[in-house]
Structure 1
């Protein structure tokens, strides 16, 4: 064995897995902090190297970001590739194997797994096209055995179900509720199977129209106008790419006038989050006060929640994507409100579905809420009441394993 002479400096060799270390550190950093909040220095510190050494591996933050996003989505392509060589004589087994592979991959990458869901909007067009193709491949692999099992499904219904299944699986990246890995795997596989087996409504089951999106102008007052236009800009451009000057221009005032009423952009974001959290919490409390029947109460809280989402569809997306920009003191309050609301929903689920424990029920609630956030991905913005009825059915099936039983 070769020895190092006393006083002779040891030769430091680059670890063979340095590239993988950088990829993992980049994905975790972007996933937890968002694209704009991460610097090359942050990633270098996570890996334990200097920024100069990191630049030798990658020329820019964007390159690391692109590789992280596309690497995660490529992982989903890779873990489902076996389906291309699988005989179609047992589609049920193939479909189960596909969903299990996706569940396991998402659990293993939970810290970074939400990256392609929330931060992919910052990809350049050619890279975004690659991501769209990767997800299309995964969806089509799910749809092939699904259509073999359910040949009466229309093509658009198969796309809705496969996309909803991916949303349910990916929903664990939206929260950090504690649960043993085996239990997470079990609840995700169960919910995904229920969603893929869901009977979608042919049309509206109840004579209700889709709530019209809110339009808030200056006549509503400065506070409401600022909140509305800020959320719109955060949705369209991202929080980091929206300035106080942009918001002031949108509401038709000078930036100095905006600063007199709002200390800064982060304060406006926190107010929008507090508005959403308070509305959902109070809606849940009101629904629970109207009935003691758990399934009827669940029916009502879903109605209330969906109504809010349809009225202000930009807000749920911003709520999920920009939370790392909310000031810590405000975020703690929000987390308290969110936890209380999720617990209220979860308790209803466990009473209506006694075989499900409270921890698993929280995951079911998280998955059901994620479906509403992905509404625009599952349906066109201009889609009508039928699409709302479909989202509602998918929420019911995710929470209960079946549609809500309504009293006649």
Structure 2
């Protein structure tokens, strides 16, 4: 074997898994910070290479982003491929459990980056978005077949609703970082998904009173309220990055200079909208707890109040989840404190109504219930009927308790 003298240059060989390292670093970066906030320099630093070396592997940030999103979609497809090998003799309940377990395991293993296809896929170009849609269709079809065999009386819309709910619950762990052992996460997600796939959806509206309607806030409400309302609407329609202060000023009918005199920038407006939502949710929860000492009755109340707020401002839940990485750090810390406190209050209600569940698992159930309202958010249009709200209410109840809430006659 040749020896290397002190004067010989050191030859650094490229690691064999460099491509995989770049893929993991890209997915994690985009998942944590969002597409627009990540640069090629950020990804290169995560891998431990120069930006120039990164460009030799990929021509642009978008290419890395596309590969990350579609790579996650392909993992979902690959993890469920075994279902195609089964025949009519396969027990549908066994197949459905196996598919659910496979998706849970895949989501846990991709937790940091898993939110990419949930929230950031909107930035895919049309041809690439079509590929992701096809990937998700394949996965959904594999779940649909055993569910329809197991529950043949379900209508096609009911099948879609239950599958969407189960996938929402599984994907909800990408939206938070609450601590829990991997085995407990797996058990928690698997149980919630199974409960939802077995759920009976409501046949009609639960309450006879008219549901709350989306609130239209005009200039007569004052500039502050008008700005918050129009900003969230624009963030929902166009995305935070594609909305300027000039766009917001135009929407409220004032000059941009006038808007800047009241709000330093759009990040401050976003933070104010988030704070408004978090404070109202916290206050509603406290009010419900003050009205009754019965945990299940209180849970019924807080769900009702929560969905009422969603109906009043239907665009906000989606914006709340998708744009939070644009909130200034100081504001985000305050928001996280409020959110954690409110989530703990809900979780304590769940454990009181469901003594078999530990507080850590209850927090995961609460986060999953909130996630449902976002993933079903498209039904909370300004024309949404009470049946849609009753459906999401039932899904939240089953997620939290494993069954509908028991209501007093």
Q: Partner of 1:223 in structure 2?
A: 224
**Secondary structure of 1:129 counterpart:** helix
- Name structure 2 gaps, 5 residues minimum: none
Q: Partner of 1:74 in structure 2?
A: 74
Q: Output the CA distance in 2 between the equivalents of 1:140 and 1:379.
A: 25
**1:201–1:389 contact (8 Å) kept in structure 2:** yes
The 5 Å alignment of 1:112-191 reads 112-191=113-192
**1:163–1:378 contact (8 Å) kept in structure 2:** no
Q: For structure 1, which segment, 5-14 or 384-393, has the greater mean C-alpha deviation from structure 2 after superposition?
A: 5-14
> Quick one: structure 1 residues 384 and 158, their matched pair in 2 at CA, closer, same or farther if it must change by over 3 Å?
same
Which string of whole-angstrom CA distances, capped at 9 and with x for unpartnered residues, describes residues 148-199 of structure 1?
A: 1100001111111111111000000111111111110110000000010000
Q: Partner of 1:55 in structure 2?
A: 55
Q: Output the CA distance in 2 between the equivalents of 1:223 and 1:148.
A: 54
Q: Partner of 1:279 in structure 2?
A: 280
Q: Output the CA distance in 2 between the equivalents of 1:23 and 1:146.
A: 34
**1:168–1:192 contact (8 Å) kept in structure 2:** yes
**1:212–1:310 contact (8 Å) kept in structure 2:** yes
Q: Output the CA distance in 1 between the equivalents of 2:361 and 2:4.
A: 56
Q: How many residues end up aligned between the 2 structures?
A: 408
**2:311–2:380 contact (8 Å) kept in structure 1:** no
- TM-score normalised by structure 1 residue count: 0.98
- Name structure 1 gaps, 5 residues minimum: none
**Structure 1 residue 377, shift from structure 2 partner:** 5.0
Q: Partner of 1:10 in structure 2?
A: 10
**Structure 1 residue 341, shift from structure 2 partner:** 0.4
**Are 2:20 and 1:20 aligned?**
yes
Q: Output the CA distance in 2 between the equivalents of 1:250 and 1:264.
A: 15
**Structure 1 residue 5, shift from structure 2 partner:** 3.5
Q: Partner of 2:341 in structure 1?
A: 340
**Secondary structure of 1:269 counterpart:** helix
Which string of whole-angstrom CA distances, capped at 9 and with x for unpartnered residues, describes residues 32-58 of structure 1?
A: 001110000000110111111111111
Q: Partner of 2:300 in structure 1?
A: 299
**Secondary structure of 1:119 counterpart:** helix
> Quick one: structure 1 residues 350 and 136, their matched pair in 2 at CA, closer, same or farther if it must change by over 3 Å?
same
**2:23–2:64 contact (8 Å) kept in structure 1:** yes
Q: Partner of 1:249 in structure 2?
A: 250
**2:310–2:380 contact (8 Å) kept in structure 1:** no
**1:160–1:378 contact (8 Å) kept in structure 2:** no
Q: Output the CA distance in 1 between the equivalents of 2:3 and 2:73.
A: 45
Q: Partner of 2:238 in structure 1?
A: 237
Q: Output the CA distance in 2 between the equivalents of 1:109 and 1:373.
A: 20
**Secondary structure of 1:102 counterpart:** helix
**Structure 1 residue 311, shift from structure 2 partner:** 1.2
Q: For structure 1, which segment, 113-122 or 203-212, has the greater mean C-alpha deviation from structure 2 after superposition?
A: 203-212
**Structure 1 residue 381, shift from structure 2 partner:** 7.0
**Structure 1 residue 382, shift from structure 2 partner:** 4.2
Which string of whole-angstrom CA distances, capped at 9 and with x for unpartnered residues, describes residues 273-312 of structure 1?
A: 0000001000000111111100000000000000111111
